[in-house]
């Protein structure tokens, strides 16, 4: 796990597409990062899968990630502690 900057924090706009064949980042849709999730949008399964996926990609613990808004929507705002906006986008969209 990379060294976290305890002062760094970012708020990401995420667009989720649940029940996809595989979990992956699929570019951007407007201002949001488009993430396809294999999990269904039932009983918070997609939210849990999103947090676990972002934790893995951004190399931060799951406790550092929180869905701020959009718990029951495809459009979500997610706060990530320990990583800045530029680093988060670079890890999510390495070709951007």
pLDDT per residue as tens digits for the range 44-65: 999 999 999 999 999 999 999 9
Q: Which domain holds residue 36?
A: 9-92
pTM, to two decimals: 0.91
Question: What average pLDDT does the structure give for the chain?
Answer: 93
pLDDT score at 7: 77
Taking the C-alpha atoms of residue 59 and residue 2, their distance in angstroms, rounded to an integer, is: 6
Any domain includes 1? no
CATH of the domain at 88: 3.30.1200.10
Kind and range of the H or E element at 13?
Answer: strand 9-17
| Residue 3 belongs to a domain | no
- Looking at the structure of the chain, the number of domains it has is 1
Distance between CA atoms of 69 and 90, rounded to whole angstroms?
A: 23
Task: Tell me how far CA of residue 67 lies from CA of 2, 3, 21, 24, 89, in angstroms.
Answer: 22, 23, 23, 18, 17
Distance from C-alpha of 58 to C-alpha of 40, rounded to nearest angstrom: 22
SS3 50: helix
Give residue-wise pLDDT tens across range 78-90.
999 999 999 999 9
């Amino acid at each position: 796990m990379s060294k976290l900057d305890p002062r760094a924090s970012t708020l990401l706009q995420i667009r989720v597409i649940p029940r996809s064949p595989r979990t992956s980042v699929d570019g951007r849709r407007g201002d949001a990062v488009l993430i396809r999730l294999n999990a269904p949008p039932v009983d918070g399964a997609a939210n849990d899968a999103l947090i676990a996926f972002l934790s893995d990609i951004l190399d931060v613990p799951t406790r550092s990630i929180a869905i701020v808004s959009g718990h029951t929507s495809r459009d979500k705002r997610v706060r990530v502690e320990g990583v800045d906006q530029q680093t988060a986008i670079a890890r999510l969209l390495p070709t951007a």
